[in-house]
Amino acid sequence: MYITKRRIFRKALGLAVPALGVAAVRAEDAPANQEPGKTGKTGLSGPALQEEAIRISKLLRCPASPNLTLYESEAAIASELKGRIFMMLREGKSRDEIIRWMIERYGEQISYMPDVNAGTAPLWIAPWAALVVAGGLVFWRMRRKKAVAAKAADATHG
């Protein structure tokens, strides 16, 4: 029980700190003509900002911990990227724009649901092909077993 509460607290802290604007953001990423504290577009704020940031962070993989989403990861890069998500949402960027930016920056592997293209098609097709092959093998074995049982029955009765 203690570990679960601690982990939940760390996740909440990992999302709350960037929401408060404490996340480290590099200076070269900010527009030169923008006043401090002001954004070019009006974006999300409050609970809507946090909910959307959580949804987006659950769609992306942590670059440091490939088996975890950004939401689940406690790595420093995950906190930085969550901060980036909050900042982009405040700027008025959409979910698709944020995900596209992450993919451009970190590659297709950051997405848990990659697009279907020539490079990822085998990954999408392989599970279904394996299922069809396994079903075919089960069907073939059942037919063969039934045929062997029928021959054995004919041999004992004949």
Give the CATH number of the domain where residue 64 resides. Answer: 1.10.8.640
What does the pLDDT look like over 22-48, one tens digit per residue?
Answer: 343 433 344 444 444 444 456 667 888
Residue among 86, 104, 92, 94 nearest 47 (CA): 86
Number of independent structural domains in the chain: 2
Q: Residue 16: its pLDDT value, please?
A: 52
Residues 59-75, mean pLDDT to the nearest whole number: 90
Alpha helices by DSSP H, listed for the chain, are: 2-19, 46-59, 76-90, 95-106, 121-157
| Shared domain check, 122 and 104 | no
* Same-domain status, 99 and 126: no
User: Are 30 and 60 in the same domain?
Assistant: yes
Q: Which residue segment(s) compose the domain that 33 sits in?
A: 2-110
* Contact by Cβ (8 Å): 136, 93: no
- In whole angstroms, give the CA distance from residue 37 to residue 34: 9
Q: Examine the domain organization and report whether 32 and 54 are in the same domain.
A: yes
pLDDT, mean of residues 141-153: 85
Of residues 6 and 72, which shows the higher confidence score?
72
Q: What is the mean pLDDT of residues 12-23?
A: 48
